[in-house]
Amino acid sequence: MNFKSFDLSSNERPKAKKIQGKKYEIFLNENELSHNFKVSFKEVLKYYYLYPKDAIATFKLPFLKPNLSHFHTPHITWLGHSSLFVSYKKYKILIDPVFNTHASPFSFINKAFKNAPLFCANDFDEIFAVIITHSHFDHLDEKSVKALKEKAQFFITPLKVGNYLKSYGVSEKKIIELDWWSGIEFNDIKITATPAQHNSSRGDGKNKSLWASFVIEFLSVNKKVFFSGDGGYFTHFEKIGTFFGDFDLVCLESGQFNTAWPYSHSFPEQILKEAKDLNAKALMPIHWGRFLAGTHAWNEVVKFLYENLNLPLITPKMGEAYEIGSEFEQDFWWRS
C-alpha cells in the first residue's frame, strides 16, 4: 500500500535534538534537566527486589480473547502494560507488542505477573502495522517482532529503532522510521510521531535510538488518539494539544513512577496535567497491569485517576475492545 510522508516540524515544533558522542549520535530530550541525570544501580536493585507486596496483583486478572472484527469505527484493545491493538476497517495496528513472559534479556528479570494473560502473535490474523515507541525491552520484544515480521505490512518506529528490527529479520522495505513531528498518511489514517521525554537502551549504549509518542488520526470519522509511550511530564504535551486541538482518547503511561528517575516516567499528579494539556475527552491508562511496579501498588495510579480525573476513565479488561468515543461502563475489575 502506498503512503505519503509529511513533516510538521517548525521552530515551535522542533525535531529531536542529538549530539555527536564518541562512538555514535546521542538523542536528547527537550528538557535539559534530564540530559545528565543518572540512576544508581542501587536504585535499580531496590526497584526489582525490594518492592512492596502489593506491587504485584494477587488475583487472576480477567481477560478476553481479542476481537478481530473489521470494525467500521475505531476500536482499541489493551493487551496489558503498554501493548495495544487498534482496529479500524482494514487497518489493524499493534503498538508495543510484548508476547513474552518477561521484559528483559533474561527470563528471570522483570517477569510478567503469573496472574496476567499472555497473548501471542497467533491471536491476530493480518496486521497492517506494528508501532514501536522506543527500544526498551518492555516495548520492543525480539521474540514478538520475529513472530510478526512476516504477518505485518509495516513497522513504524522512531529514528534508529529500525536497526534492531533489521537484526531480527524484518525486511528493510517494511520499516518506516520517523523523527518527532513527522508522519505518514495512508488512505484513511495518519500516523504522526510526536515528542516524549524518556531515554533508550538495550544494553548497547544509552540513547542511540530515539523514543516518541504517537498520534493516530482516523480521517473519515474525525477521531484522534494519542499514545504516550513512556515518558515524564514536560512542555511537549501542551504543544501537542495545541497543534492537534483535542483528542477523543489519550493513552497515558500510568505506572512505574519513581523519585529515583523523575524525568523518565510520569507521577500521578502529572498525568492529570498531561490530560489537560492534550485537551483529552477520555483517558486510558497504559504501562500497568502486567509487569512489576516496584515502588507502588500495581493498581495505585488507576485508583488515583478514578478518584481525581474529571474525565471518563477507560479501563477495559485485557483483550476487551473499546469503541473510541463511546460511553464506558466501569466495572472496577482492577480493585483488589
Beta strands in 72-198 (DSSP E): 75-78, 84-88, 91-95, 127-131, 152-158, 175-178, 182-185, 189-194
Give the single-character DSSP code of 105: S
CA angle, 257 then 260 then 266, to 5°: 25
| pLDDT computed for residue 336 by the predictor | 66
CA–CA dist 94, 60 (Å, integer): 24
CA–CA dist 101, 291 (Å, integer): 10
pLDDT averages per 10-residue partition of the chain, 336 residues: 94 97 95 86 78 90 90 96 96 97 84 91 94 98 98 98 98 98 97 98 95 98 98 97 98 92 93 98 97 88 98 97 97 91
What's the length of the chain? 336
Residue type (1 letter), 122 = N
With contact defined as beta carbons under 8 Å apart, do 230 and 51 qualify? no
Closest CA to 251 of 76, 72, 52: 76
With contact defined as beta carbons under 8 Å apart, do 188 and 218 qualify? yes
pTM of the model: 0.97
CA–CA dist 199, 137 (Å, integer): 12
| pLDDT computed for residue 75 by the predictor | 98
Beta strands in the chain (DSSP E): 4-7, 17-20, 25-28, 75-78, 84-88, 91-95, 127-131, 152-158, 175-178, 182-185, 189-194, 213-218, 223-227, 249-253, 283-286, 321-323
| pLDDT computed for residue 36 by the predictor | 81
310-315 — which CB contacts under 8 Å span 24+ positions? 311/275, 311/280, 311/281, 311/282, 311/283, 312/281, 312/282, 312/283, 313/282, 313/283, 313/284, 313/285, 314/249, 314/282, 314/283, 314/284, 315/284, 315/285
Q: How far is CA 223 from CA 162, 215, 240, in A?
A: 28, 11, 15
Q: Is residue 46 classed as helix, strand or coil in its secondary structure?
A: helix
Residue type (1 letter), 317 = K
Q: How far is CA 133 from CA 77, 192, 200, 213, 270, in A?
A: 17, 12, 10, 6, 20
Phi, psi of 10 (to 5 degrees): -160, -175
